[in-house]
Amino acid sequence: MNELSAKQYSKDEVDRIIRRALKMKKEDSVTHQELIDTAKEFGIDSETLEDAIKEDREGYQKLKARRKRLRRRKARFHRHLWSYIIVIGGLLLINATTPGPWWFQWPALGWGIGLAFNFKAAYFPLHKDASSENSIIIP
């Protein structure tokens, strides 16, 4: 018996090998029938395969929606940051050119706290509980 025919492969190894073979073949995709044939070779019935395809599509759509939300949050944060820089810069100029005590730091501090929360939401979002139906773990 050939040494390779007795070798066991992990799911990760199979995934990497198939992806590499597709790249070497200069193709990035397979037809639905090729997917069914490959699944049959692994002993996977067509119903299980169709369920897996449906689940993968739903998961991918949720992942795309989450990434879109994160992009919007980051864009909102950047708009908020520019507003902060412009307004606080203006307040600093007003405070520097008028007599009296320094006061611009108080609105800068208050608004800065809000900006910090906005930054956290955009760049370090909370992940929902893993048991939640709507939770998505981004790799």
Is residue 138 predicted with pLDDT exceeding 60? no
Residue 112 near residue 87 (C-beta atoms within 8 A): no
| Paired tokens of 7 | 């070798």
Residue 86 vs residue 30, higher pLDDT: 86
Residue 41 vs residue 69, higher pLDDT: 69
Confidence of residue 136 (pLDDT cuts 50, 70, 90): very low
- Please give the Cα distance from 96 to 103 (Å, whole number): 10
Identify the domain containing residue 98 by its residue range: 69-139
Structurally, the chain folds into a number of domains equal to 1
Is residue 27 predicted with pLDDT exceeding 80? no
SS3 27: coil
Give the closest residue to 73 by CA, choosing from 132, 133, 126, 134: 126
Structure confidence by residue, pLDDT tens digits, 92-124: 999 999 999 999 999 999 999 999 999 999 999
112, amino acid identity: G
pTM surpassing 0.85? no
| Paired tokens of 91 | 């307040």
Structure confidence by residue, pLDDT tens digits, 47-56: 888 888 899 8
Is residue 128 predicted with pLDDT exceeding 50? yes
Measured in residues, the chain has a length of 139
43 lies in some domain: no
Check residue 100 and give left, alpha or beta (phi > 0: left; psi -120 to 50: alpha). left
Mean per-residue pLDDT, 49-69? 91
